[in-house]
Amino acid sequence: MFAEMVQAARELLAVRSPLDAELMVSDMVGAWWGRRVRGGDVEQVLGEGLVDYAAKAGTPASLTLLICLAYLGTARQGAKAEGAALAMMESGVARPGWADRVGAVKPTGCYVSRDAYGDQDTVICTFAYRWNGAADNAQDRHALVMVVDYNMSGMARDAWVSSQVDKLIEQARAEAEANPMLLFEEIEPQQARALLESAMRATREPKSPPPVSDSYSAYHAFARSRLKALPPGRKRPAPRHSEAPYSRERRAMLAAEFLSSDAAEHLSDPSAASRCADHIIDYGCEQDFDRPLRVSPTKCETFLLDWLPRKVMLSAAEQEAMPHALAAWVRFAARRTGLPDQGVTATLDAVWEATARFPEAYRDPASYGLDMALLSRLLPDGDLSALARRVFAFPILQGTHGDVDLDTLNPADEADRRILLELDHVGEIDEQHLAWHEEIATRLWEGDPPQLWEAAQRLLDLGHDRHEVLHVLIEIVERIGADPDELAAALDDIADIPDEL
């Protein structure tokens, strides 16, 4: 693969501008973005491996590739590529005339186009190449465009580059003037950098596959490097309509205001409506940057058809009441935020369209073949997403074992948890080993860190049995210790059980 990449780099010798070269190399290294490899981090195994291979090739094409990687690569890749490139230039290897201008850019303006719903920001950052300390002529101007999606945890979902800077900005401004559901404005470069760096970090969170556009990987390295040309110094700006963090008391007060409002007066089951309101508010606070009052067609659909079925155990009455409570919430929240009428209508239409699919999307937990008493023991917090990992952690929960009635033991209780694990490991008398099983079971119960259950699922999918998987998890947690970042990284790297284990 490295040989093919270095051979493809010969095309860099024919391009006429550093921008073309940077985009070509960004596309090249985007081939492995978001992927997993055995043996470590993909940027270390493949990215640094490519740098080492190009350095040994010693050709003009490989030198040009190294010059681009010195700018576009990660910090480690950049340092290695720069050192290798300097050594090759000292030995007399030729390079294109534009090579000295790679990455030598200055920002010329930053803008954002926002929709009235607050679903997403389209951020435009414009740049020009420096030449003798000044910005170069208009033909070298270009714009990096990135879409930040707040219905996907504020992640960067799309990216592209345009050389038609003036046309792009005028078109965005004209669309906003013609559409009351759009807002276009210029923002500070520091604000743009903070916003986009946060969005790119959110995109790096473990997702398989990453829910981004097909072109995102090709522009990822270019975007990451261009943001460094913007001045730092700002914290991530709050999304539009964002509020201060909501305490439990403030959430309860908001729910009470909703239930006493005109929008909720037609709800026939006040008790079920109250619990539905709690879930709506919790979703807005925990999944949408403390914005429970933000409503949109996409947010409501995601809440009803994706988040609720995965996260919340609803009673039959709550399942019946939820779509009606959500529609009432849309009317209540829209009045508070000033959402235009056409936005309110579109959001209500989306709620009623989703309502027809809600019974199919939300499967009653009892339909999983588990009785409600057992579900209550496994899900005292009502978190449906925890069901699979808690069943994996505590597979023995019913029946009797000797004189122990398993149905009376509570896996959420520390003492009962110890008994359940002892019964799961009958014959194992090593107290220290049993303590590590208790550590893993507790982490799985709490979902701390999320990568623990993700690693377990990957190993189970490969055909390893539960006991083998638990021992691998124990080995990693015992070896890494308490550092959460190192533990998460080590768990992310597990693609199979090593032979020595």
- Give residue-wise pLDDT tens across range 181-212: 999 999 999 999 999 999 999 998 655 567 89
CA distance linking residue 243 with residue 165, whole number of Å: 34
CA distance linking residue 406 with residue 380, whole number of Å: 17
Q: What integer pLDDT is reported at residue 366 of this predicted model? A: 63
Mean predicted confidence (pLDDT) in 409-418: 91
Mean predicted confidence (pLDDT) in 95-106: 91
User: CB 235: neighbour CB atoms within 10 A?
Assistant: 10
pLDDT band at 116 (very low <50, low <70, confident <90, very high): very high
**Which has the minimum average pLDDT: 223-232, 234-243, 378-387, 471-480?**
234-243
Query: Would the pTM count as exceeding 0.85?
Result: no
pLDDT in tens, 338-365: 999 999 999 999 999 999 999 988 876 6
> If DSSP codes are grouped into helix, strand and coil, which group holds residue 192?
helix
pLDDT band at 375 (very low <50, low <70, confident <90, very high): confident
Q: What integer pLDDT is reported at residue 90 of this predicted model? A: 93
Q: What integer pLDDT is reported at residue 62 of this predicted model? A: 94
**Contact 383/403 with Cβ under 8 angstroms?**
no
CA distance linking residue 296 with residue 304, whole number of Å: 12
Q: Is the pLDDT of residue 177 over 90?
A: yes
Q: What integer pLDDT is reported at residue 372 of this predicted model? A: 77
Q: What integer pLDDT is reported at residue 149 of this predicted model? A: 95
Six-digit token pair at 319? 């399942």
Question: Which is higher by pLDDT, 106 or 376?
Answer: 106
Residue matched to tokens 């030198």: 63
CA distance linking residue 9 with residue 54, whole number of Å: 10
**Which has the minimum average pLDDT: 288-302, 418-432, 472-486?**
418-432
> Pairing mode, if any, of strands 404-405 and 182-186?
unpaired
Q: How far is CA 429 from CA 426, 436, 464, in A?
A: 8, 13, 24
Q: What integer pLDDT is reported at residue 219 of this predicted model? A: 97
CA distance linking residue 168 with residue 160, whole number of Å: 12
Question: Which is higher by pLDDT, 218 or 463?
Answer: 218
CA distance linking residue 258 with residue 25, whole number of Å: 53
**Contact 339/291 with Cβ under 8 angstroms?**
no
Q: How far is CA 64 from CA 11, 14, 57, 85, 354, in A?
A: 10, 11, 12, 8, 53
Mean predicted confidence (pLDDT) in 448-467: 90
User: CB 412: neighbour CB atoms within 10 A?
Assistant: 14
> Pairing mode, if any, of strands 142-149 and 155-162?
antiparallel
Q: What integer pLDDT is reported at residue 237 of this predicted model? A: 76
Indicate the residue type of 45: V
* DSSP tag of 37: B
* Half-sphere exposure (Cβ direction) of 414: Cα atoms closer than 13 Å: 2
Q: How far is CA 355 from CA 123, 156, 173, 359, in A?
A: 33, 29, 36, 8
pLDDT band at 328 (very low <50, low <70, confident <90, very high): very high
Residue matched to tokens 């799309």: 158
pLDDT band at 41 (very low <50, low <70, confident <90, very high): confident
**Which has the minimum average pLDDT: 162-166, 371-375, 405-409, 462-466?**
371-375
Closest Cα partner for 281 from 251, 238, 249, 313? 251
CA distance linking residue 331 with residue 347, whole number of Å: 9
Whole-number average pLDDT of the chain = 90
**Which has the minimum average pLDDT: 151-165, 245-259, 368-382, 413-427?**
368-382
Q: Using omega within 30 degrees of 0 as the cis cutoff, is the peptide bond preceding 449 cis?
A: yes
**Contact 220/23 with Cβ under 8 angstroms?**
no
